[in-house]
Amino acid sequence: MMHTLRLRALSRRTALGALVAAAGLLALPGLSTGARAADDVFIPNIVELSGAGAVSGTNWRDGIILAVEELNAKGGILGKKLNVPHLDTQSDASIARAQVQKVMDDKPYVILGPVFSGSVLVTMTQAQQNEIPEIVGGEAAAITQKGNPFVFRTSFGQQASMPKIANYIRDGLKAKSVAVLWVNNDFGKGGRDNFMKEMQARDIKVVADVSTESGQVDFAADVVKLKNANADAVFVYTNEEESARFLKEARKQSLKGAMIGETTLLSQKVIELAGDAANGVKGHVGLSADAPVASLNEFGQKFKKRFNYANDHNAIKGYTAIYMIKAVTEKIGKFDSQAFAKALHGMTITPDKEPGILMEATWDQNGDIDRASFLGEVVNGQQKIVEVLPKIGK
């Protein structure tokens, strides 16, 4: 009797539940078929707004917001306003993929983001399948080595930045040995592999190879390993928050050897978080609001006024991405995704024709960017640019 009652109760609950579940699934806003307003240009931004990539993603998003506000105030592109929603990947590649799948339903003109290389590698396949250009913030070398004609960078890939760092270590620091500390994610592993290759090519001995975790808090044991290695220079390649924690621990343990980084280690966010511990850090900077370039300085001031914090390189990447779209669209004279991708390959955009691009930039056949860059140093809590490196193609 009890068993029968239990089964009846089970079947009632089962069925009632199934009904509510199904009704809920179908009542989702944004998932049902329906047309989007056609009087604007749909350029979705899929980016890391929470999770490990939130610092980079928020800067990227705010750079985009600034550019879109400026452009829409002037009437948009070719008379059409820009509609740029921001979708959070939660720093997870599978969610990034789902978000791209979602925006594809609305036939975007161009897609912006993500910044995390792993997410870029996943989403760029969808961009290619749908023949929609994707302007990304990722720096992993592999992104532009897969023959995808629809992916474009906004910053140097690791294959372009690591030779510059390697030359600096050999010629600028005259280091004979180096230790590497890297974050074991797709960004850090890719950078570490490229860096190792460049060190080998220059006969610089790598005396320590220390892998760290994304989100790691305690770097004490890693600094001990680096101290024991006694290298002339320590190359640090981790994300923003981890970089700051490492620098604090390195200062605490009086780690010797020049501290070298690539863009992130010298970024404004790391300097803010690490405080005095960031002083003395040197390295290559792809983009910086503190560079001796008037347009970059002006951008830095505008950004601070609008968002009340100092930007990092990701904000410049996001900002210039919007002006890339403007320059290419005005050149082709229409909103045609395929024509956009074709036109951008081999194209050079100069600040005299498009001031929003901030610095002259050229995109090659792989979607890699070529632009001047900088050698910098952190002095008294400020990033100081000591040398401007010309475009590789010059």
Partner 1 sequence: MSTPRILAWVAAAIAVAALLYAPMVLRSYGVYLLALWAVTTIAALGLNLTLGYAGQISLAQGAFVGLGAYFTALTTNAGLPYPLAFLGAGALTFAVGWCLGYPALRVQHHFLAFVTLAFTTLVFLLLRNEQWLTNGIYGINDIRRPTILGVATGRNVSFYYFALVMLALFTFVQWWILRSPWGRAFVALRENPLRAASLGVDVRRYTLMAFAIGSSFGGFAGALYAPLVQFIEPNSFQLTYSLKLLLMVLVGGAGHFMGPFFGAMIDLLLPEWLRFTQGYYLLIYAAMVVVLMIFCPKGIVGGFVILRDRLFKPAPVRRPDQPAGGTAAKPSA
Minimum distance from CB of 189 to partner 1 (Å)?
5
Rounded to a whole number of angstroms, the CA Rg of the chain reads 23
Minimum distance from CB of 320 to partner 1 (Å)?
23
Distance of CA 15 to the CA centre of its chain: 47
Q: Return the residue matching tokens 């720096």.
A: 139
**Structural contact between residues 226 and 206, judged by C-beta atoms closer than 8 angstroms:** no
Residues at the contact surface with partner 1, assessed by CB under 8 A: 1-2, 5-26, 28-33, 49-50, 86-88, 90, 92-94, 97-98, 101-102, 104-105, 118, 121-122, 125, 142, 184-186, 189
* 192 vs 313 by CB, closer to partner 1: 192
Rounded Cα distance, 163 and 196, in Å: 10
The two structure tokens encoding residue 297: 């300085």
DSSP 3-state of 212: strand
Distances (CA, A) of 161 to 115, 125, 300: 17, 24, 23
Minimum distance from CB of 109 to partner 1 (Å)?
18
Q: Name the nearest CA neighbour of 175 among 224, 235, 226.
A: 235
Q: Name the nearest CA neighbour of 171 among 233, 128, 91.
A: 233
Minimum distance from CB of 349 to partner 1 (Å)?
31
* 27 vs 220 by CB, closer to partner 1: 27
Minimum distance from CB of 36 to partner 1 (Å)?
11
* 162 vs 259 by CB, closer to partner 1: 162
* 225 vs 342 by CB, closer to partner 1: 225
* 127 vs 296 by CB, closer to partner 1: 127
